[in-house]
Amino acid sequence: MIMSLKYQPLLNRKGFLLFIIPLVLLTVAIFFSILMWLSKSRALISQKSYEIDIARGVCDGALDILVQAIHNQTPLPQGIREFNSIPHSSFVHYFGQVELNETFQAGHSRLMSLTEHQYRHAFETLEKSFPGVEIECNLQGQAEPHSEFLVDPISRQVEFELRCRTWYASVKVDHMIKKKVWIYNMASEAYTRFTIFHHDSVGGSYNKTLLDGAGRVINNMIPLIAFNHNPKSDKSDNELLALKKSEEKRSFDRLTTSGTSKKLKHAIEDRGYQYYGNSQFRPTDLRIGGGMRFETYSEEWLLFNPYYEKFSPVYKLYREFLPPRLQSQYRVTNLYEDPDGDVEKETSGWGLVKFWKGGFWNISKDHPDYPGKYIGGWTPFSSAIHPFGTIDQMSRTRIIGNTIRTSWRVSKLFLDRVASESDERQYERCMGYDYEMTPENSLISPLPSLPYFPDNSFPSSALEPFLGYKGNIVRECDEPTKIKPADTFIPQYLFEKHDEYSRASSGYSFNNPLQLIDMALFSHDDMPPHFNKGFQGYTLIDDDRERGKRDKYEIDAITGEAFERADGSGAYFRFDYNFLNPDVIQRKKIYMPALTVKELEDRGYLRANSWVGPEIPLKIVGDLEIGEKFEFQSRTSLYVDGHCKVSPVRSRQYLLLNCKTLEFTKKQNFEKKKEVNIYEGIFVGRNGIRHTLEHPDSLVVHGTLAGSPIEDSFFSIPTMVVYDSSNDYRQGKQDNAFRAMMEPSILNWEIKP
Amino acid sequence: MKKKSAFTLVEILFASGMILVLFMGFVTMSLQSHRQTVMSRDKLKATFYARETIDAIRGALTLIDSEKLGSLSNRFNGDSFFEIKTPPDLKVDVFTTTLLKSRDNGLNSASTVFLSRMPSNFQRLVKISPSFRRYNGNPDLYNVEVQIRWKQDSKTYNRQVRQVTVVGANETGHHFEY
């Protein structure tokens, strides 16, 4: 049998087909399954991505809410609220806790309890924006130890990490932000009281002390504050410091806690300031506002707000508290002139001072209510007291920045009326008007402080605003048109002749930066003014006078520049009567000898670690470098025409260092990484101030600092520099940044670095 | 007798029907997969656009001082959505838009953001509203909501993603250190 191989078509191989076709189908099925799986994966990825982004947006939002909450609850100095009003459940309170040293940690619930309700509400709203979103945040960080009370590194630096985790659907997002925040010590009255920042280098400057009606300082230990006010600025002065006008609680008591008051009181008084604290320890009640608090023998003191609307910014002193002389009756002569000038009557009687009002006033010649009057209106603008101080205590206030002083001193005396025929007639006439006539206020006599009327007489129109006891004004009344106070009204306390005083206290003058308002460079106890008994003028000691003949320099009071004197006369201070003359004070000269550093060393003034120089102003030719552990042991005023490089200096005496450029520096100390560099005195950098301290060393100036500009780096370390946000160095306005002052004659600071 | 090895007609018809049914299933799967892929891709894109927009707005709001921003009456203070349209005939992938029209050039430049070009079937809607205001009236926090909508197999916008966040208003004098 012949075997033949016949071709059989594949199709005909059923078995094979039954195998291959399902295989193909399976392959295709697998392919499509993979395709489906891939597309589902993509869908899952896109969904996950969406969920992640939702969680991320919510997480970032939560961080922003908490950062804003922390930011807004840690106010800058000018935004400081009353300390007691800050709730315990707030970030600033939390960060400011004494026990909060080194590290801290706050969980979500704690964090929420610290957060203000509106932020918490925003937080909850955000959480509800997507169903199922959960947010959990926590805070941890590190804080520098709390500053020693009144040592005045006023800020405390807190570094923290804020971490928020968000869960949404199946995803979790974890974001963290790191920040540093400066917490200002709001409990420090010294800081609050004596540190004022000015946002403009030009403006009015007024010293503020508490004086009685005779110009006496109520207490010898007083805070002395100067401030620049820029009348053109729309920024309210009272926003510069602690309290806002809208806040009803005016007492500074609220800036501190009762538990620390006692300590604070001693600390302030140790520094020579008068304490205005909690009632238990309060010798004087310091309040913002005008007027006098009768019961407590205290003045309501208009701090930093010369334009306070409701209260007259003058101080008022009642008879009981006037000097004994003014508590007794005075002989008063009133001169009455008929409007036609035909009749002139003189009435006289005994007057009794009811109270005394004093302060500075703006005068407007065209008061809208009194058109055509030569002097129509008055606007009280400051409770500043006599710019040259008093016989008891001269003003120690210095000016920060170039200032213009406009001062009017007007006093108001209410007198007993003495009945006479003419008086009765006037009384009757005046009754027809809205004027409350009583025996005590029927006559008014201002002190003759206006130079417009050299004969010491005043048209009654000038007085009209002052007649407004209880708001009433006498008009067209047959009152005397001129009131001439009797001689007994001239207060002998201030000047030998009252017209001298009035001339000096009324006027318009330009003042040099850092010039003492009362004296050039030194306070009154060095150089008493001429009205002090025994004062005959002041000259340098002989040596210095002789040297002054050789070193003939003077400083222009306006520009601050020193130049050689033209007349070649000797160096001396000219503190005669003309010094107080407002015409002269505008171009006051300060004469001083000029020496090189080598000459200073040769004379023994400048030593390795100390300065013991003559207590007169000196000009230093060239640069000056002051090393570490340097102490000024005598009252010192140096005008350096070069660069000053100053390490921390100690000065228990008055120190003024006025340099062309000023650099705060310190040799690097690797062993002590953190340290407070304390500079005591008044430091001026005419052309600029900077520091080269190593971060994070802090810089504390116990005194005054002024310069234009202040370099950016100055703000990069913890310092006592207080700045207004509008002058934030990041805003490029640092040229106007001035450190406000602390009276430098307070010499017993306790330094606890 | 010769054995027949071929399929019968019935067998072939049955097999063809089976294959057809399976093929139809594959086609359906394929279409579904494609649609899902497109949707996933679009959603991913939309998520990106939303995130990009949120980030751009966050950056812009951080740059602008809230005091200036708060004093302006503009869409930053509105409660309704506004659309940021991709400029027509855009040749590049990125365009700039100014969120805030102001006379102040500084504000204009600060509020100018870079955004990606979106396909024509996409729409970008933004709502920025103050969360609450500070005592001085300036906004302290902004609620920001972004919606990206797109059309898929439809003439109307039938798909969307939404993102929400809160942005802290920038304040002059911020005393944080970054």
User: Which residue, among B7, B33, B132, would best test binding to A if mutated, counting the most A CBs under 10 Å from its CB?
Assistant: B33
Q: Sorting pLDDT into bands at 50, 70 and 90, what band is B161?
A: very high
Chain A residues in contact with B39 by the CB 8 A cut-off are 43, 46
Given a contact cutoff of 8 angstroms between Cβ atoms, the answer to whether A684 and A658 are in contact is: yes
Residue with token string 């990206």? B148
- Give the pLDDT of residue A719: 52
Residue A716 has pLDDT above 90, yes or no: no
What distance in Å separates the CA atoms of residue B69 and residue A353, rounded to the nearest whole number? Answer: 58
Please report residues of B whose CB lies closer than 8 A to that of A4.
none
Alpha carbon of A661: minimum distance to chain B alpha carbons (Å): 27
pLDDT of A575-616, one tens digit each?
333 333 333 333 333 445 678 899 889 888 898 889 988 766
Whether pLDDT at A524 is above 90: no
> Which of A8, A58, A179 is closest, CB to CB, to B176?
A179
Name the residue with higher pLDDT: B66 or B94.
B94
Strand ranges across the sheet with B122-133: B82-83, B122-133, B139-150, B159-168
Number of A–B residue contacts, CB under 8 Å: 143
pTM: 0.43
% residues pLDDT > 90 (chain A)? 5
Q: So what's the pLDDT on residue A108?
A: 92
Q: Is A60's CB within 8 Å of B33's CB?
A: no
How much of chain B exceeds pLDDT 70, in percent?
Answer: 72
For an interface test with A, the pick among B7, B10, B23, B40 (most A C-beta atoms closer than 10 Å) comes out as B40
State the average pLDDT for chain A.
51
One-letter identity of residue A485? P
- Say whether A43 and B36 touch across the interface (CB within 8 A): yes
For A695-729, give the DSSP string. Answer: TT-EEEEEEEEEESSB-GGGGGS-BS----GGG-G
Angle at A220 between CA A218 and CA A226, to 5 degrees: 85
Query: Is A126 in contact with B51 (Cβ distance < 8 A)?
Result: no
Q: Say whether B37 and A42 touch across the interface (CB within 8 A).
A: yes
**Distance (Å) from the alpha carbon of B162 to chain A's nearest alpha carbon:** 8
Q: Which residues of B touch A67 (CB under 8 A)?
A: 168, 176
pLDDT surpasses 80 at A234: no
Q: Could you report the per-residue pLDDT of A259-315, keeping only the tens digit for each?
A: 433 444 444 343 333 333 333 333 332 222 222 222 222 222 222 222 233 333 334
Tokens of A379: 């606007």
A357-413 pLDDT per residue, tens: 443 344 444 444 444 432 233 344 333 322 222 222 223 333 333 222 222 222 233
CA pseudo-torsion sign B67, B68, B73, B77: negative
Residues A138 and A164: their CA atoms lie apart, in Å, by 7
Model confidence at A327, pLDDT cuts 50, 70, 90, reads low
Residues of chain B contacting A14 with CB distance shorter than 8 Å: 5, 7
Query: What average pLDDT does this structure show over A232-258?
Result: 30
Q: Radius of gyration over alpha carbons of chain B, in Å?
A: 27
Percent of chain A past pLDDT 70, that is, above it, reads 28
Q: Which residues of A touch B130 (CB under 8 A)?
A: none
More confident position, A50 or A701: A50
How far away is chain B from the Cα of A171, in angstroms, using its nearest Cα?
A: 15
Cα–Cα distance, A526 to A540 (Å, whole number): 12
pLDDT value for A623: 94
Neighbours of A675 (CB within 10 A): 16
Q: Is the pLDDT of residue A132 over 80?
A: yes
Average pLDDT over residues B60-86: 67
Tokens encoding A653: 């005496």
* Residue predicted with more confidence, A707 or A620: A620
Query: Which residues in chain B have Cβ-Cβ distances shorter than 8 Å to A247?
Result: none
Q: Is residue A373 within 8 Å of residue A337, measured between CB atoms?
A: no
- How far apart are alpha carbons B37 and A650 in whole angstroms? 78
- Please indicate whether residue A8 or residue B147 has the higher confidence score (pLDDT): B147
Nearest Cα of chain B lies from the Cα of A744 at a distance, in angstroms, of 29
Find, in chain A, the residue whose alpha carbon is nearest to that of B19: A25
Residue A57 with chain B: CB contacts under 8 Å: 51, 54, 163-165
Nearest residue to B131 (alpha-carbon basis) of A126, A29, A196: A126
Nearest CA in chain B to A180: B177
Mean pLDDT for the stretch of residues A500-505: 39
CA contacts within 13 A on the Cβ side of A613: 30
Q: For A533-565, what is each residue's pLDDT tens digit?
A: 322 222 222 233 333 343 344 444 333 344 444
Peptide bond into A231 cis (omega under 30): no
In what order do the strands lie in the sheet containing A624-626? Answer: A624-626, A643-646, A661-664, A689-691
Q: Is A242 helix (H, G, I), strand (E, B) or coil?
A: coil
* Averaged pLDDT for residues A328-345: 53
Tokens of A294: 């009768």
Residue count of chain B: 178
Interchain proximity B40–A45, CB inside 8 Å: yes
**Residue A30 CB-density burial (10 A; 0-12 exposed, 13-18 middle, 19+ buried):** exposed
Please tell me the distance in Å from A179's CA to the nearest CA on chain B. Answer: 6
Question: Parallel, antiparallel, or unpaired for β A630-632 and A649-651?
Answer: parallel
Map residue A530 onto helix, strand or coil.
coil
3-state secondary structure of B4: coil
More confident residue, A426 or B106: B106
Task: Specify whether the CB–CB gap between A182 and A61 falls below 8 A.
Answer: no
The pLDDT of residue A688 is: 76
Query: Hey, are the CB atoms on B164 and A129 less than 8 Å from each other?
Result: yes
Predicted pLDDT of residue A33: 84
Omega within 30 of 0 (cis) for the link into A696? yes
- Judging contacts by C-beta atoms under 8 Å, the chain B residues touching residue A21 are 15, 19
Q: Which residues of A touch B134 (CB under 8 A)?
A: 72
Q: Give which of A11, A12, A41, A54 to mutate to test B binding, by max B Cβ within 10 Å.
A: A54
Cα→Cα distances A413→A255, A302, A354, A460, A481, Å: 36, 21, 6, 15, 17
Give the pLDDT confidence of B127-149 residue by residue, as tens digits: 888 777 665 556 778 889 999 99
Q: Which residue has the higher pLDDT, A423 or A120?
A: A120
Task: Kindly tell me the burial class for residue A249, based on how many C-beta atoms sit within 10 Å of its own C-beta (0-12, 13-18, 19 or more).
Answer: middle
Q: Is the pLDDT of residue A624 over 90?
A: yes
- pLDDT of residue A255 exceeding 90, the answer is no
Q: Of A148, A150, A396, A397, which is closest to residue A277 (Cα–Cα)?
A: A150
In terms of average pLDDT, the best of A206-215, A570-579, A586-595, B39-48 is B39-48
Residue of higher predicted confidence among B9 and A226? B9
Phi and psi, residue A14, nearest 5°: -60, -40
Closest Cβ–Cβ partner in B40, B51, B172 for A39: B40
Strands A624-626 and A643-646, by their bridges, are parallel
What's the rounded Cα separation, in Å, for the pair A496 and A498? 6
8 Å CB contact between A719 and A703:
no
Report the C-alpha gap between A726 and B171 in whole angstroms: 11
In chain A, the N- to C-terminal Cα span, in Å, equals 124
- How far B147 CA sits from the closest chain A CA (Å)? 12
Is the pLDDT higher at A54 or at A346?
Answer: A54
Is residue A661's pLDDT more than 70?
yes
pLDDT reported for residue A515: 38
Contact in structure between A370 and A377 (CB atoms under 8 Å): yes
Query: Regarding predicted confidence, which is higher, B152 or A570?
Result: B152
Predicted confidence band at A683 (pLDDT cuts at 50, 70, 90)?
confident
Q: What is the pLDDT of residue A674?
A: 54
Instruction: Return the higher-pLDDT residue of A24 and A200.
Output: A24
In this predicted model, which residue has the larger pLDDT, A454 or A350? A350
Determine the distance in angstroms separating the CA of B34 from the nearest CA of chain A, rounded to an integer. 7
Q: What pLDDT is stored for residue A134 in this prediction? A: 92
- Residue A281 class from Cβ within 10 Å (0-12 exposed, 13-18 middle, 19+ buried)? middle
